[in-house]
Structure formats: structure tokens, C-alpha cells
Amino acid sequence: MSKWHIILISLILSVSGVLCGCGFRDIDKRFFVVSMGVDKSSDPKKPYHVTLKLAIPAAQVAAGKSNSQIISQNADSIPEAIRVMKAKVDKEFDFGHCKVLLFDKKIIDENPKTVLNWFVRRRDIQGISFIAIAEPSSKKVLQINPKSERLPGNALVFAFDETTNTSTYVLTEILNDFYSKLREEGIDPVLPIIRPAEKSYTIDTAAVYGGTRLKGELDRNETRMLNEMLNTSKRGQINTGKGKEHFFINVNRFSNNIDIITPANQRPYANIYIKVEGYVEESNGKLSTNKELLEHQRKASLDINLRIEELLKHLQRMGADPLGLGLKYGARHGSGQKQENEWKEVYKNLDFHVHSKVKIDGSGTVY
């Protein structure tokens, strides 16, 4: 055997030794973390109460057959809590399947950048993980095991996944986007609020940020309207009118466009153009003629104008800008510190002119 053959074999053996070293662990030596929560503890010296939901593999995959284990720990930091919790289990933690991150209001309001620092630095934490606020605590939410759950932790993932849950009340946010918006001038993040309810979850409200601090909550209808403005692919329903004039429109298409106008020596204003197309899903009155459909379109447009304007004014009073109006202003006037200061004054005095156009394609099927 030549000298070069000996050198080549030695290199192959040395590389194989590195690849098969302590960096790799068999699947039976790992605990898969499927979701994680961080709450504010009652101990000022150990302010972080970290909770992990660990998946327990099962031979049978079926609804109601999922098993999981919950462990928690108080610590002065998130990585310290993780290190202490490793002493409570017999396997190494694997965060590659952690798709849901929950926080209580206190911990995510005080200094969200500091809290999220560990998550954005860890290479095995997915940037597309769903992030939400949990009430009354993330531990309470993670302890729920819905009967419909087939795999540990999947119920929460499916609740936020737009391919499985198309509800317009469920507003979603992922880790990378949330962290970017915290650092970005001109747009503020929004987080969904999740609450336990009868061995399941309720996700129909949201919390709005202004800068890096929580500014307030949106109710169910405000959350739905904001979600439709942010995610125009969402297909919801619009209810309008009262009494005999009350009817529902099932939305097939929704689009919006916003322009910021700053005329000289006049109050600045925003033109919001909204287009809605759909069909009548329910109606208390007659819809037998084209004239009646046109009248319903007109009334629906007026209701939408009023509701969207009230929502925008509410966000303005809170000092929150989740629609990114500041980015639109900066795109036209510049993005320096001077323009950012100008926008803060403009936003305080901004008027909203909402122009919606509703088109009803049909009155539905009536037998």
C-alpha cells in the first residue's frame, strides 16, 4: 500500500470520528420540546418561570392518544432555567420541533427584546415559530391536552396555521417578524392572545404594541377587522344592518390600499380604499331584485367605512401603528431621524377617510 493510500484512509477515519462524536444523539436519547412558555415568577431574584412541553412518543397516532410531559423552573435567566431542567429528565432537550412560544403579559411587556434574545440566538429555535401572549399564564395554556390532538402540541400549531384554521379572529405572528417589528421604526407588532377554555383554546383577541411596550388590547371584532386589513387572503364574513335589514356577506375577495396625504397648511389625512366581493350568506329581508342588492351594497359600504374608521382612531389613541402607516410616510419623505420625529406628530393629528366598495355577486342558494 502506497504512502498516499495510507494518508487518505487516515483522513477518512478522522472525519468519520468527528461526525460520529458527541454532536449526534440517537432519537431515543432526545426529548423533543414541542412548545415553550415564559412567565413572570413571584421571585424577584429568579424572575423567569420557564415551562417546556415535551413530547412522549406513542406507538399509535390517533385523536386523544397524544402524551406529553410538562416541566417548569424559576431562574434568573432563560438559559439557566433550561440548564437546571436538564437535571429533571433523562434525555437531552431538542428544540428543533418547538413551533409555539408563549409569554405572559408581564414578561413580554417589560423588555421584550431582552426576553427574546435567547430565542433569536439559538440556532435550533425556528424563526417561523408562532408567538403569542397567554392568559392567565403560558403554563396554564401548555397544560391543556385537547381531545382532538393526535400528536403532542399539534393542537396549538394547527390553531395558528392558516392552512388548517382560516378563522379571521385568529391573528398570527411568528418570531422573526415580531422581533423585526420591535426594532423597526414605522410599524408596530401585534400578538394574539390565547386563553384556556374547556380543555381547548380561545384565540379571538390581540394585544397591540407601540414601540417596545404594550399599548392595549383589541376586542374580538377589532381583532377580526385588523386581521382582514393585514391579511387580505383571509376570507371572513361581514354582518351589517339591523332588524329586517340585517344580513351577512361571505367574503370571497378583500383588498385595501392606503395613501398618506400631507397637504401644506392643512391637517394630514389617510385615504383608505377597500374593496369587498362576496355573496349573501344570510338575510332577514327580501333580496329578489337587483335594486335590493344594490341597496344592501350601499348600506354595507357605509357600515364598513364607520367600523374601519373607529378601529384606526382607536389604534391612533393608543399610539400603535400595526398597519405600517409610518413606513408609507417614510417611503415618500425619507427614513432619517428627522422624518421619524415628523411622523410621530403627523400620526397624532392624522384624519382617516375610508372609502369602501362592496360588490355582492349573488344572494346565495335558497330552496
pLDDT per residue over 105-151, tens digit each? 999 998 899 999 999 999 999 999 999 999 999 999 999 988 878 77
Give pLDDT, residue 112: 92
Taking 50 as the pLDDT cut, the residues of the chain under it are 17-22, 367
- d(Cα 166, Cα 25) in Å, to the nearest integer? 38
In the chain, the N- to C-terminal Cα span, in Å, equals: 89
Compute the half-sphere exposure of residue 245: CA atoms within 13 Å on the CB side of its CA.
11
Give pLDDT, residue 91: 86
pLDDT tens figures, 35-64: 999 999 999 999 999 999 998 776 555 555
Strand partners, 238: 249
Q: Which is the CATH superfamily of the domain at 235-367?
A: Nutrient germinant receptor protein C, domain 3 (3.30.300.210)
Q: Characterize 124-137 residue by residue with b for buried, 16 or more Cβ atoms within 10 angstroms of its Cβ, and e for exposed.
A: ebbeebbbbbbbeb
The strand order across the sheet containing 247-261 reads 237-240, 247-261, 269-283, 351-362
Amino acid letter for position 71: I
Q: Measuring CA to CA, which residue among 171, 261, 276, 262 is closest to residue 224?
A: 171
Give pLDDT, residue 17: 47
Give pLDDT, residue 62: 53
Query: Beta strands of 104-189 (E only): which ranges?
Result: 130-134
Give pLDDT, residue 18: 47
CB atoms within 10 A of CB 341: 10
Domain segments of the chain as ranges? 26-218, 235-367
- Mean pLDDT, the chain, integer: 87
Which residues lie closer than 8 Å to 190 by C-beta, 6 or more apart? 171, 173, 206, 207, 208, 209, 218, 226, 230, 322
Q: Which helix (H) or strand (E) holds 116?
A: helix 112-121
The residue with cell 424559576 is: 74
Give pLDDT, residue 367: 46
Contact 247, 299 (CB under 8 A): no
